[in-house]
Amino acid sequence: MSDNQNVRVRFAPSPTGKLHVGGARTAIYNWAFARATGGTFILRIDDTDPTRSTDENTQIILRAMRWLGLDWDEGPEVGGEYGPYWQTECLPIYREAAERLVAEGKAYYCFCTPEKLEADRKAAQERKDTFQGYQRTCRNIDPAEAQARVDAGEPYTIRIKVPDGRGDVIVHDAVHGDVTFNARELDDFIIFRSDGTPTYNFATVVDDARMGITHIIRGDDHLSNTPRQIMVYEALGAPTPVFAHISMILGTDGKKLSKRHGATSVEEYRDAGYLSDAFVNYLSLLGWAPDGESTVISRERLASEFSLDHVSKNPAIMDPKKLDFINGEYLHAMSDQEFADEVLIPELHSHDLEPAGECLHEAAWYDLLAAALKPRTTLGPQVVDQAAFLYEDDDELEYDEKSVKKWLAKAGAREALQAAGEALAALDEWTPAAIEAALDPLPEQLGMGKGKVFQPIRVAVVGSAASPGIGETLALAGKDHVLARIERAKELAL
C-alpha cells in the first residue's frame, strides 16, 4: 500500500493510568502521519482490563490529548462510522468473530485445565522437547463433540489454529525492516479466555480490521506481539496493515524512562509550565527528524513533513535540558503581549499575587514586565520568583544574604545609594530610559565602577543581585517603592 493511499491510523491507549511520555509520542506520530498523508486519525480506548481501566483515567487521557492539540477524526466525543470506540462496548463483536473462526475451522474450543497445561509443560521439559508450549491437545477434537461439551457447560477457551506447515512469519516493519519469527513457536494461542473475554492480541486485530487501519505505529515493545496478530489477520481474511514499531524512550542514564527521571505523565509536564507546542515539538524529535539540523519544528511543519522513513530504530534519550531549551525558544518567540497574556499573568494569578502598595498593574505594566522577564525564562513558573519582589511590601522585602555581603556590606555602598536616591527623586518621568539616564553619570561622579554603584541599587530594590536591566527593574517597581527601599537598604550599607 502506498504511504498516502487512504491512510487510517489509530492511537489506542489503555485507560489503566495516565498518558505518559511514551504514549504521547506514539499519539503524536500517528497524528502527524495522518495529517502529512491526508489520512484519518482515530482515537480508540482499549479498556478491556476490567480491574484497572477506569472512566477517570479515560478522561485524563482525553484531557491530555486535547492539551497536546492532537485532534482526532474519529473516536470519543467525535463519533464515526466505525464505532464503538471503546473495547468494552465491542464484546459481542469479538465473540461473533471468534465463533465464526471456530465455524470455519480456523479456531477451536480447548478444554484443557490449568493443571493439564502445567502437566503437559513439565512433560515436554522432561522430554527436552525443542517446543514446550501448548501441545495442541484439543486441536483435533471432533467439532460436534466439542460443541456438545460447550453446550453442557464445560469450561473452555478458544484457540487460533496456526496452519500446519505455515512458514516463518515475517513482519515487514517500516522502522526495523523485515523481522522473522518461527510460526511453530507461536503455538495455538488463546483468543478467548474461559471467562468469556477476548485476549489483547485478538481484540486489537478485530478492531483494527473492522476500522480499516492501514498503518499501525506503536512502541517496539509490541513487536513480539505482532506475529500472533498477523495470524489473526490471516484467519479473519483481513489485509495486514503496515507496521512501524518505534523505539523506547530512555532516561539520560540509558535506562527505561521512569518516575526516577522526573515527570513522566503529560499532565505533569503541563502543570510544570511547559507549552503544548514546545512539548509536542520535543517529543516528535525523540526518534524522528526531518533533517539533521532542525531543533524547533512547528506543529504545521510536523503535520506536513512527518514520514516513517525518517524514524530511527535506535532508542531515544529524554533530555530535560533540551526540553527546557526548546520550551525557552517558544517562549522567546512570543510577542511581549502574548507572553504576558498566556504565561505571565496566568502564572502570577495562580499564585494569588497581588500588587504591593499603590503599584498599578495595567496592560502596559504587564507588557513591560513581560519584556523584562521573557529573555530570562525557559519555563513559565520561573516568572513567579523573578517577579516576587514586585509583590512584597517595601519593609518586608527579604534580602539575599550573599548579595548583601557582596554589595551592601562594602565601603561606598551607602554613598552610591544616597546618590541614586537623590537622582531618582528628581525625576518627573518614570520610564526605563529616564531612570538609566539619571543613573548613568553616577559611577564617574562617585569615582566607582559601575558594579559598585548599580548592584547596591539592585539589591536594595529586588533583594538580590539578579534581575532584569536596572532601568526596567526600577520602572516596574514604581518610584515611591524604589525610594523607600533605597532608604531601607542604606541602614545595611557601609
Q: Which three cell numbers stand for residue 212?
A: 480499516
| One-letter-per-residue 3-state SS of 6-41 | CCEEEECCCCCCCCEHHHHHHHHHHHHHHHHHCCEE
Exposure letters 94-122 (e unless 16+ CB within 10 A, then b): beebbeebbeeebbbbbbbeeeeeeebee
Residue pair 452/412 in contact by the 8 Å Cβ criterion: yes
Q: How far is CA 6 from CA 75, 214, 361, 447, in A?
A: 18, 8, 54, 76
Residue pair 42/10 in contact by the 8 Å Cβ criterion: yes
Q: Which three cell numbers stand for residue 142?
A: 471432533
The active-site residue out of 122, 255, 256, 259 is 259
DSSP 404: I
Biggest distance spanned by C-alpha atoms of the chain:
108
Sign of CA dihedral 312, 316, 319, 324: positive
**How many Å apart are CA 460 and CA 404, to the nearest integer?**
9
Can 479 be counted among the known catalytic residues?
no
Burial class (CB in 10 A: 0-12, 13-18, 19+), 136: middle
Nearest to 489 by CA among 367, 424, 399: 399
Residue pair 58/45 in contact by the 8 Å Cβ criterion: yes
**How many Å apart are CA 364 and CA 463, to the nearest integer?**
24
Phi, psi of 237 (to 5 degrees): 75, 25
- Catalytic (active-site) positions: 259
